[in-house]
Amino acid sequence: MAPAEEEHGIITARIIHRIAGFVEENKLGVTTTSETGYKLSSHPDTVKAPDAAYKSNERLAKGGRSKGYSTVMPDLVVEVNSPYDTYTEVFKKVLTWLGAGVLQVWVVDYESRTIIIYYTDGRSRILHTDDELDGGDILPGFKCKVREIFE
């Protein structure tokens, strides 16, 4: 995978900073960055690495912290769009993660300054800069102004 643009990295860092701080402060599990691979299937091996992910203590109890690629999927995956990503490519990623057992996927689009939350039941919700991003059932108590991610 080619290196991401600077803006992509800045946005990703802001999200990881907020999620990881909340997760650590509340001892909810672990947060991972884009270097972390999750093994979605074997024969052939399919490994994907989201821009950010959160795995709850409950899911960690099922498989611990892996020395290799994790086969226990995170509760939450965050994908930050690059200007070159097509809608089809992004939606394929979303479906792949949800199909593998991820409970929510947040797609962050810095061009439109929106965050789209995808749920396992097929629903989605678009958040704009004046909205508040909250963790819902996945990260109860987590709140962040969408604007903060893009400023």
pTM here is 0.92
Beta bridge partners of 46: 41
The closest of 150, 36, 48, 28 to 99, measured between CA atoms, is 48
57-66 mean pLDDT: 81
Using alpha carbons, list the distances in angstroms from residue 61 to 30, 58, 127: 12, 5, 32
Among 3.40.50.360, 3.40.50.300, 3.30.70.1140, 3.90.1570.10, what is the CATH number of 6-25+51-62+73-150?
3.90.1570.10
pLDDT digits (tens, 9 = 90+) for 70-112: 788 899 999 999 888 888 999 999 999 999 999 999 999 999 9
Q: What is the largest CA-CA distance in the chain?
A: 45
* Ranges of each domain in the chain: 6-25+51-62+73-150
What are the tens digits of pLDDT across the range 3-28? 678 888 899 999 999 999 999 999 99
For residue 27, the tally of other CB atoms under 10 A from its CB is: 7
